[in-house]
């Protein structure tokens, strides 16, 4: 999930990567805080060029992610993990460097606490969802679905599936089987860009997603599936269980489970100049 972290009440856009369990932070946001520059993008471009000329490996290894910009649009920005950020800070003369390092350590410590004590993370997630106006039924189903998802990914990790792209591939196999849509097409239906699809699912979509993933894990366990190919076969069978249940429900209610509804904020009408 995308997050906003606060340092001295100033925003630092951040992203938690669940695959490698790493925080990524917007570099220009950090530069804006440390330098108080009127144009942190220009400051970063100049600094980046200088560090590249010096052969600085930290800059070479920095990634880019799409994050929400000040105008509300999703724009690509350079990001750094905690270790990379600490190295970059050394190249920025600022009296705030040391307190910012302490802030980074605190953010990392809080995340480690959540990993060691998942209840803390769940409580924080529940509080965030409540602030976003999600119903208690939705929150409960989202949390139950996440627990089901974690058990499935744990099985994959223990049975010769390790690459993040393989996790994405297997997830898509399951999703496409029960919905008839790829994850990408489902996101397009909901008019999502980089947002997490599950954060915008209806209660019914969450339930059937959980059923598909629960079925997949139990089938994989029964067949002792190992590796991507065998787990993909189990995923197709698990997705089929949820697909049949979905079709049965739709035939009884006359309503489709797959929906284009989302929780995105309403689009503001732009005033036309006369």
Residues 109 and 153 in one domain: no
Q: Are residues 148 and 247 in the same domain?
A: yes
Quickly tell me which residue has 């570099």 as its tokens: 27
What is the percentage of the chain residues whose pLDDT exceeds 90? 45
Whole-angstrom distance, CA of residue 12 vs CA of residue 31: 10
Residue 165: its pLDDT value, please?
86
Mean pLDDT of 203-208: 96
The per-residue DSSP string of 151-196 comes to: HHHHHHHHTT---HHHHHHHHHHHHHHHHSS-HHHHHHHTT-SSS-
Paired with 65 in beta bridges are 77
Please tell me whether residues 145 and 112 are part of one structural domain.
no
Distance, in Å, from the CA atom of 132 to the CA atom of 150, rounded to the nearest integer, reads: 24
Mean pLDDT, residues 149-159 taken together? 93
160 and 99 housed in the same domain: no
User: Is residue 27 assigned to a domain?
Assistant: yes
In a domain, 142, yes or no: yes
| Residues 156 and 93 placed together within one structural domain of the fold | no
Do 102 and 202 fall within a single domain? no
Closest to 176 in 3D by CA, of 130, 239, 129, 237: 239
Residue that is last in its domain, among 116, 144, 170: 116
Q: Which residue range is the domain that position 82 belongs to?
A: 2-116
Is residue 126 assigned to a domain?
no
| pLDDT per position as a tens digit, 255-265 | 999 999 999 87
Last residue of a domain, one of 59, 87, 116: 116
Is 125 domain-assigned? no
> Residue 220's pLDDT band (boundaries 50, 70, 90)?
very high
Spatial contact of 28 and 37, defined as CB atoms under 8 Å apart: no
Q: Is residue 129 part of a domain?
A: no
| Residue range 73-121, pLDDT digits in tens | 788 989 988 888 888 888 888 887 888 877 777 765 455 445 444 555 5
Q: Show which of 63, 85, 116 is a domain's final residue.
A: 116
At 108 the pLDDT is 58
Q: How many domains does the chain have?
A: 2
Considering the domain architecture, whether residues 62 and 109 belong to the same structural domain is answered as yes
In a domain, 208, yes or no: yes
State residue 224's pLDDT score: 96
Token pair of 245, please?
A: 């249940």
Same domain, 159 and 69: no
| Tens-digit pLDDT profile for residues 20-44 | 667 888 999 989 888 888 889 999 9
Let me know whether 102 and 157 are in one domain: no
27 and 99 both lie in a single domain = yes
Residues 79 and 10 both lie in one domain = yes
Residues 139 and 240 in one domain: yes
186 lies in a domain? yes
Question: Could you tell me if residue 85 is inside a domain?
Answer: yes
């Amino acid at each position: 999930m995308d997050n906003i972290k606060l340092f001295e009440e100033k925003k630092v856009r951040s992203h938690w990567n669940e695959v490698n369990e790493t925080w990524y932070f917007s570099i220009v946001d950090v530069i804006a805080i440390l330098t108080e520059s009127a144009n942190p993008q220009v400051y970063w471009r100049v600094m980046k060029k200088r560090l590249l000329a010096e052969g600085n490996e930290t800059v070479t290894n920095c990634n880019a992610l799409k994050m929400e910009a000040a105008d509300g649009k999703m724009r690509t920005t350079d990001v750094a993990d905690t270790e990379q950020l600490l190295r970059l800070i050394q190249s920025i003369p600022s009296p705030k460097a040391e307190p910012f390092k302490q802030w980074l350590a605190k953010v990392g410590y809080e995340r480690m606490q959540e990993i060691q004590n998942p209840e803390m993370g769940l409580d924080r997630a529940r509080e965030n969802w409540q602030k976003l106006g999600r119903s208690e039924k939705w929150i409960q189903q989202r949390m139950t679905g996440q627990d089901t998802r974690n058990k499935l990914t744990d099985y994959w990790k223990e049975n010769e599936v390790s690459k993040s792209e393989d996790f994405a591939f297997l997830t898509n196999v399951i999703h496409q089987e029960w919905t008839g849509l790829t994850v990408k097409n489902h996101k397009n239906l909901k008019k999502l860009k980089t947002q997490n699809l599950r954060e915008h699912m209806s209660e019914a979509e969450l339930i059937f997603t959980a059923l598909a993933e629960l079925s997949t894990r139990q089938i994989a366990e029964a067949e002792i599936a190992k590796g991507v190919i065998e787990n993909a076969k189990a995923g197709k069978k698990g997705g089929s269980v949820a697909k049949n249940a979905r079709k049965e429900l739709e035939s009884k209610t006359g309503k489709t489970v797959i929906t284009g509804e989302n929780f995105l904020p309403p689009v503001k009408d732009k005033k036309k100049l006369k």
